[in-house]
Amino acid sequence: MRVGELSRRSGVSVASIKYYLREGLLPAGERTSPNQAAYDDGHLRRLRMIRALIDVGGLSVVATRDVLAAVDDPDLPLFQALGRASGTTTAAPASVEPEDEPDEAWEQAERTLAEHVAERGWQVSAENPAWRNAVGVLATYIRLGDADLANQLGLYMRTMEEVAAHEVAAVVDRGDRARTVEGVVVGTVLGDTLLAAVRRLAQQHQSLRLLGEAPTHPRG
């Protein structure tokens, strides 16, 4: 199909398609004349994935390109592709680290996380960007005097251990490597959004139970 039909079928404007081609998110079509290229269902599928990661998952264009490179590299071991998806930072902040030296709150937060990780027997790397993000939030709780919020860490870890076991098993079950990696990328990034939404619905339900009245919600 030509770029116009690709645009119509994907709902993505021609200008955006050209931008994704230039930025290397979408592979080039097959050139049929100096000014025309032909695209196939693979391009359509890739375009839908790009929009899902950007629009629904909240990834930047650069992060989307990086994570799609893992999908496209057939030689990348599966566990490394998992790591690449895990390195994306949907809900993760631009700056969690103290600008200068780690302060007392940072060190206390890192000790707390390390103790919990040891207690659960997790084998995780402090080089995983998620480690810094977790420490950053815990340190912020401590600095704000909200240490009671940091007490949720054990509960988060126990529940996420169960969630992650099902998530990893489900994508490995797909068998086909390319489909597995796609599932990892989409499930990791969009799963953040789904989990955050489900958490808010659960909070609404539990507020009603505990406070006897439902929170109201501004539209927005």
Residue among 37 and 92 whose Cβ is closer to its own copies: 92
- Residue 158 beta carbon to its own copies: minimum distance, rounded to whole angstroms: 9
* Binding letters toward its own copies, positions 33-72, x by CB under 8 A: ------------x--xx--x--xxxx--------------
Q: How many Å apart are CA 141 and CA 168, to the nearest integer? A: 30
Interface with its own copies (CB under 8 A), residue from 4, 24, 42, 215: 215
Instruction: Label residues 123-144 b or e (16+ Cβ within 10 Å = b).
Output: eeeeeeeebbbbbbbbbbbbee
SS3 content of the chain, % helix, strand, coil (to 5): 65, 5, 30
Binding to its own copies by residue 29, rule CB under 8 A? no
Strand partners, 36: 33
Candidates 17-25, 26-34, 35-43, 179-187; binding stretch for its own copies (CB under 8 A) = 179-187
* Binding letters toward its own copies, positions 86-105, x by CB under 8 A: xx-xxxxxxxx--x------
Going by C-alpha positions, the residue among 8, 10, 47, 12 that lies closest to residue 27 is: 47
Residue among 107 and 131 whose Cβ is closer to its own copies: 131
Going by C-alpha positions, the residue among 64, 122, 52, 55 that lies closest to residue 89 is: 64
Residue among 24 and 32 whose Cβ is closer to its own copies: 24
